[in-house]
């Protein structure tokens, strides 16, 4: 009897040990090059390997609610797997008109009405929480995302002073072990560069009803997530924004049945990072049933150049008035530019969107634009939009094409909801949207493809503070996650060591060829021409080149790159190819060779290219436009000046 009792006790002990033993679940990418291993013990954590080598040694995840912690002592109820192989066709193709969406998915459901979904692609991994409780009043106090990377990582970061940020800081670059909790956090996206040549791009997608995620270094080779709290009380802060006077102790107030944002890592080579479309693949589907009215395109913009055309053909006093805007419309019509943007100054005040500046005569500008085939965008502060949310209906009645909304500078739950409300109401009234003072793209541009672009970048409005040494990272960081309103197109070019310029004679750092290349390199559903029509008329060869470059793409390929030093990219629209290359300021001349093996074999192509002139390393205005013939076997040497560029248009003969 005693022996039987002992045997029973041993059996119970072994059973409890078995129940408490860690459980591992593995899911691999379709090709098998990336593997994710989930370990379920006292917490939820996973590791990632790439080409058989570890890249993430540990990622601990969890969701802390006001009354319970999801991911602590988890108990598995059910697991399921599926494989997906499909073609996606985005309404506005920023990189590819057809996206191959292939992944293997693991879903693990736990006791406590929650689960975690994992998707593993050939170029990255993603996870998100899913909750299924009937609770209508859920407060999320925190979401845990603590990641340790393999040794030898350089972190490329954008570090604001706090959660209030327009996301326009210069990048910083540091050994991840030196990024400590006492240092500034980073907004997303973040690029991690391994000393073995592997890159990891970290960002998020589908952040509906939730704050944006920021990262903090842990000083131990990894990072942790942090989030802005839900604001509860606001105060006056001028005509552009509000002050957060009080905030809650939670990051989101939501419901119990929902999906949470995807956290993803794109993993691979520089080409992998530049060409990937994980934000789109993880985004919700389009809510716009008939998107035929959505027309991406170029925009002629007056703010950067001070709205001051001049010369023999300007027989009026230029400025924010009817004659000047008609001049901009005439310029746009001449070069096939579909829109003009009327920035601050079109309205009598910044707080009243219904009373135009009497010098402008907005109705006549809209009428004249329609006569010439040119639509009109209007600039607004987000606060004015929020205080006058019926303006979308009114603007539609007026015949406005789109809105540029500015100064949000926040990523808390209230503000991310504002973005969605704007896009939805704008879509209901057939208006395009451009967000300035904005955070990074996170999938909303696919749910509402009338969202053409976001700023959230140190663009050319910074003039001398917008340097190629920083901008050369954009194809691998900021622009790698979605459209970017950088506002290129300067016709006065300078090297950084001799920059002296201000509006109305605004200038950029970088050579003229660099400016030409930006129109190929940088993605945006609406691409600004920032300079003065006068300057574009005087540089007709450059203007014709720019306006022959599309803003949407069927295919994107990185040709060559050394991240942070130079990059060359080829893009296809229809049967034409476009190539853009840019370099930093570190070398007087940089010699690269471009292969044209992306062209169809057996065909000859006409090529027109813009290159840095012999004096471009000092006189950045020096450029040459040349013509020739290329085919799929062509190997072309290209010389990039410091802060220089190279751009080409290639079409079948």
Per-residue tokens: 20:
């408490």
Whole-number Å distance between alpha carbons of 260 and 131: 8
One DSSP character per residue, 5-61 reads HHHHHHHHHHHHHHHHS-EEEEEE-TTSSEEEEEEESSSEEEEEEETTEEEEEEEEE
Q: For residue 454, give the H/E element and its range.
A: strand 451-454
From 143, 206, 302, 406, the catalytic residue: 406
Distance (Å, rounded) from C-alpha 411 to C-alpha 45? Answer: 27
406 noted as active-site residue = yes
CB contact at 8 A, 568 and 638: yes
Coil, strand or helix: which one is 246?
strand
Secondary structure string (H, E, C) spanning 92-158 = CCCCCCCEEEEEEEEEEEECCCEEEEEEEECCEEEEEEEEECCCCCEEEEEEEEEEEECCCEEEEEE
Token output for 568:
């060359």
Contacts of 219 (CB under 8 A, 6+ apart): 177, 178, 179, 180, 181
Give backbone dihedrals phi and psi of 339, rounded to 5 degrees, phi first. Answer: -140, 155
The token pair at 41 is 């013990």
Query: For residue 504, is the peptide bond before it cis, meaning its omega torsion is within 30 degrees of 0?
Result: yes
Picking from 461, 89, 414, 450, the residue whose alpha carbon sits closest to that of residue 292 is 450
Cα dihedral sign, 406-412-416-417? negative
Query: Is 648 within 8 Å of 578 (Cβ atoms)?
Result: yes
Neighbours of 518 (CB within 10 A): 26
First to last CA, the chain: 96
512: left (phi over 0), alpha (psi -120 to 50) or beta: alpha
Tell me which residue has tokens 């000859």: 604
Query: DSSP states of 524-569 as a string?
Result: -SEEEE-S-HHHHHHTHHHHHHHHTS-SS-SEEEEEEEETTTEEEE
SS3 label, residue 572? strand
Active site residue 555: no
Q: How far, in Å, are 80, 110, 147, 503, 626 from residue 73 at the CA level?
A: 20, 10, 19, 60, 67
| Catalytic residue of the set 461, 469, 485, 531 | 461
Q: What is the DSSP letter of 80?
A: E
Residue numbers annotated as active site:
406, 461
């Amino acid at each position: 009897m005693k022996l039987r009792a002992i045997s029973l006790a041993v059996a119970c002990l072994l059973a409890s040990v078995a129940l408490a033993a860690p459980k591992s679940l593995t899911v691999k990418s379709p090709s098998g090059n990336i593997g994710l291993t989930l370990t379920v013990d006292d917490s939820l954590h996973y590791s990632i390997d790439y080409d058989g080598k570890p890249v993430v040694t540990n990622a601990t995840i969890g969701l802390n609610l006001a009354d319970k912690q999801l991911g602590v002592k988890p108990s598995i109820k059910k697991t399921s797997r599926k494989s997906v192989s499909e073609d996606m066709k985005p309404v506005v193709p920023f990189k590819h008109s057809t996206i191959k969406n292939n992944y293997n998915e693991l879903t693990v459901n736990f006791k406590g009405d929650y689960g975690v979904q994992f998707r593993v692609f050939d170029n990255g991994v993603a996870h998100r929480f899913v909750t299924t409780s009937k609770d209508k009043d859920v407060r999320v106090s925190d979401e845990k995302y603590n990641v340790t990377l393999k040794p030898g990582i350089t972190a490329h970061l954008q570090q604001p002073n706090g959660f209030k940020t327009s996301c326009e800081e210069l990048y910083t670059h540091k050994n991840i072990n030196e990024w400590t909790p006492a240092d500034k956090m980073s907004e997303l996206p973040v690029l991690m560069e391994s000393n073995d040549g592997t890159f990891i791009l970290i960002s998020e997608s589908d952040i509906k009803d939730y704050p944006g995620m920021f990262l903090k270094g842990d000083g131990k080779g990894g990072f942790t997530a942090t989030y802005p709290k839900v604001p509860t009380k606001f105060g006056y802060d001028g005509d552009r924004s509000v002050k957060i006077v009080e905030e809650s102790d939670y990051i989101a107030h939501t419901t119990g049945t929902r999906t949470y944002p995807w956290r993803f890592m794109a993993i691979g080579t520089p080409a992998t990072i530049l060409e990937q479309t994980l934000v789109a693949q993880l985004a919700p589907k389009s809510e716009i049933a008939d998107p035929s009215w959505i027309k991406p395109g170029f925009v002629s913009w007056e703010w950067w150049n001070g709205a001051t055309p001049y010369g023999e053909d300007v027989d009026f006093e230029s400025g924010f008035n009817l004659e000047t805007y008609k001049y901009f419309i005439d310029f746009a019509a001449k070069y096939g530019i579909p829109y003009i943007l009327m920035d601050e100054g079109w309205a009598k005040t910044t707080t009243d969107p219904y009373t135009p500046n009497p010098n402008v005569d907005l109705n006549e500008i809209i009428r004249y634009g329609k006569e010439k085939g040119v639509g009109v965008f209007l600039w607004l502060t987000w606060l004015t939009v929020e205080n006058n949310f019926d303006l979308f209906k009114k603007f539609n009645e007026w015949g406005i094409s789109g809105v540029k909304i500015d100064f949000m500078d926040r990523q808390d739950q209230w503000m991310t909801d504002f973005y969605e409300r704007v896009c939805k109401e704008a879509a209901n009234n057939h208006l395009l949207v451009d967000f300035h003072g904005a955070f990074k793209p996170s999938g909303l541009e696919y749910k509402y493809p009338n969202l053409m672009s976001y700023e959230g970048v140190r663009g050319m409005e910074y003039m001398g503070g917008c340097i190629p040494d920083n901008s050369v990272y954009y194809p691998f960081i900021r622009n790698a996650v979605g459209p970017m309103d950088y506002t290129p197109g300067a016709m006065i070019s300078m090297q950084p060591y001799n920059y002296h310029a201000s509006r109305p004679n605004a200038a950029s750092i970088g050579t003229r060829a660099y400016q030409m290349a930006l129109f190929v390199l940088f993605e945006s559903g609406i691409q600004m021409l920032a300079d003065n029509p006068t300057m574009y008329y005087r540089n007709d060869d450059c203007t014709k080149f720019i306006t022959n470059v599309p803003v949407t793409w069927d295919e994107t390929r990185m040709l060559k790159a050394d991240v942070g030093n130079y990059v060359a990219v080829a893009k296809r629209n229809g049967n034409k190819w476009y190539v853009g290359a840019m370099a930093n300021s570190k070398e007087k001349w940089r010699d690269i060779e471009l292969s044209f093996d992306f062209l169809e074999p057996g065909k000859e192509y006409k090529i027109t290219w813009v290159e840095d002139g012999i004096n471009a390393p000092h006189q950045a205005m020096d450029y040459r436009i040349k013509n020739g013939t290329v085919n799929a076997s062509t190997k072309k040497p290209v010389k990039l000046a410091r802060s220089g560029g190279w751009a080409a248009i290639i079409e079948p003969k």
